[in-house]
Amino acid sequence: MIRLFVGLDLPKEIAEHVYSLRGGLENAKWQEKEKLHLTLYFIGNIPEDKANDVIQELRSIRFPAFNLSLKEIGYFAIGEIPHHLWVGVEQDDTLKELNKKVENTLKKAGIKNTDKYKFVPHVTLAKLNGTDINETFKYISANNLFHTKPFLVDHFSLFQSIAKENGEGKYYQIIEQFPLSLI
């Protein structure tokens, strides 16, 4: 079995800008710079031989390239307990359209959406473990004017999530990139 997801890797300059947000919040496990990405569609664990079907279907996607900006800080919570801190995406329906196109295409490869949550485009900054909600609000308030310059999204990628040999975490490897058309 391999664990896969479809996403956008960030241009180096944008990743550096996002990475600069690290720090200033207790009990936060900050995302490594190399792992900063925006998930378009989580596939999950599938048999290795099924990965070729996924790749073939993703190669069939035709979609125009577009510009995207990241902005604002937010969090996901269970009740009143925050568990992930993230950077959002400037409102752009194009990204949601690409997500839907990927989802519909993957259905042809027999991949069903098992995610119970609505697609909320974001880049995860940190996993929060017991972080005080008031401290989370202070961090967000202090950083909520964050905004990147627009960047060109001219491809999306199929990522594999691989456990590190030492058992401490995982890393992401791009299996293949799929170009978006420049008009």
> What tens digit of pLDDT does each residue of 85-137 get?
999 999 879 999 999 999 999 998 888 776 667 888 999 999 999 898 999 99
What pLDDT shows up at residue 162?
86
Residue by residue, DSSP assigns 100-169 as HHHHHHHHHTT------SPP--EEEEEEESS--HHHHHHHHHHHTT-BPPPEEE-EEEEEEEEE-TTSS-
pLDDT digits 0-9 by tens, 65-75: 999 999 999 99
Reported as a pLDDT band with limits 50, 70 and 90, residue 63 is very high
CATH number at 83 reads 3.90.1140.10
In this predicted model, which residue has the larger pLDDT, 158 or 167? 158
Cβ 167 vs Cβ 151: under 8 Å: no
Nearest C-alpha neighbor of 76 from the set 63, 89, 65, 85: 85
Angle among Cα 10, 176, 101 to the nearest 5 degrees reads 75
Question: How many domains does the structure of the chain reveal?
Answer: 1
What pLDDT shows up at residue 116?
66
- Residue 21, domain extent: 2-179
pTM of the predicted model as reported, rounded to 2 decimal places: 0.91
Reported as a pLDDT band with limits 50, 70 and 90, residue 163 is confident
CA atoms within 13 A on the CB side of 132: 7
Residue by residue, DSSP assigns 5-20 as EEEEEPPHHHHHHHHT
Cβ 126 vs Cβ 25: under 8 Å: yes
Q: Residue 60 carries which DSSP code?
A: T
What pLDDT shows up at residue 169?
76
pLDDT digits 0-9 by tens, 25-49: 989 999 999 999 999 999 989 998 8
Cβ 174 vs Cβ 156: under 8 Å: no
The dihedral built from the CA positions of residue 118, 179, 64 and 148, taken in this order, carries a sign that is: positive
CA distance linking residue 58 with residue 67, whole number of Å: 21
What pLDDT shows up at residue 183?
63
What pLDDT shows up at residue 80?
84
In this predicted model, which residue has the larger pLDDT, 163 or 136? 136
What pLDDT shows up at residue 62?
95
- CB 156: neighbour CB atoms within 10 A? 25
In this predicted model, which residue has the larger pLDDT, 167 or 142? 142
Place of tokens 């940190």: 126
What pLDDT shows up at residue 101?
95
Q: Residue 77 carries which DSSP code?
A: E
What pLDDT shows up at residue 16?
96
pLDDT averaged over every residue in the chain? 91
